[in-house]
Amino acid sequence: MPTRSTVPQRIPPFTVLRFARYLNFLCNLPEDRTEISSAEMARIIGIKATQLRQDFFTLGGFGRQGRKYDTRVLQERLRDVLYLQDGQHMVLVGAGNLGQALANYQDFERFNLYLRGIFDTNPKLIGLRLRGIEVMAMEKMSTFIAEQSIELGIICVPHQVAQQVCDILVEAGIKGIWNFSPENVIVPDGVVVQNENLSVGIMNLSHQLNSLARDRSESR
């Protein structure tokens, strides 16, 4: 297997996103599927085969046209590049409907991502158990993060308090924020954030759907 030294020190963000899509696809293959071609994989994922081979070439020794990939080796290599081999521990803030849905999402463990703590300010939710994890009061969060060496935080709170929650997480030592609040949160240098605005996604889908309908109408 290629070594980490053969991988560029800095991989472009869009390439990282494609790597994540590749790994997700490979993990969903049947267990007895041990090989796959670049053409088939690219077709199912919805990208050009040349792009896929170019991406895999950066992994060191992959991406040769006419040769099938060993799916297990490729999975391990992608996990290595995405820093998933050692695992990451997470906390989730906001145990409402969206927070509960994420807490119950079992596929995180497939990628060595482990939810360790859930926090909320609502007395009706504190004490609730989600997949064996008890929802705790916000006052306990900073100590919990320090004691458990947590580095990733998931935000599922109303937009009015999203930045405040983000600041508390960062002050407690969190280095990565996955934000599902409608509010884009701001983080200092040394902290990374992924803002997942669900409304933006559905608006983009709505635009594409209506554009497609308009194109069909004009072509008649």
Tell me: the pLDDT tens digits for 116-138? 999 999 999 999 999 999 999 99
The whole-chain average pLDDT of the chain stands at: 90
**What is the spatial distance between Cα 65 and Cα 67, in angstroms, rounded to a whole number?**
6
pLDDT of residue 5: 45
**What is the spatial distance between Cα 141 and Cα 136, in angstroms, rounded to a whole number?**
8
Residues of the chain with pLDDT > 70, as a percent, come to 93
Query: Measured on CA atoms in the order 115, 121, 124, 126, is the torsion positive or negative?
Result: positive
Instruction: Assess whether pLDDT exceeds 80 at residue 63.
Output: no
pLDDT tens digits along 168-216:
999 999 999 999 999 999 999 999 999 998 888 899 899 999 988 888 7
pLDDT of residue 4: 47
When pLDDT is averaged across residues 25-36 and rounded to a whole number, the result is 93
Q: Give the Cβ contact number of residue 174 at 10 Å.
A: 23
Instruction: Assess whether pLDDT exceeds 60 at residue 8.
Output: no
- Residue 92: φ, ψ to 5°: -125, 130
Q: Delineate the domains of the chain, giving CATH numbers in brackets.
A: 4-81 (1.10.10.10), 88-199 (3.40.50.720)
Instruction: Assess whether pLDDT exceeds 70 at residue 2.
Output: no
Residues 166, 177 contacting (CB under 8 angstroms): yes
**What is the spatial distance between Cα 188 and Cα 186, in angstroms, rounded to a whole number?**
7
Distances (CA, A) of 95 to 32, 92, 126, 174: 38, 8, 9, 19
CA nearest to 131, candidates 158, 172, 103, 153: 103
pTM score of the predicted model: 0.84
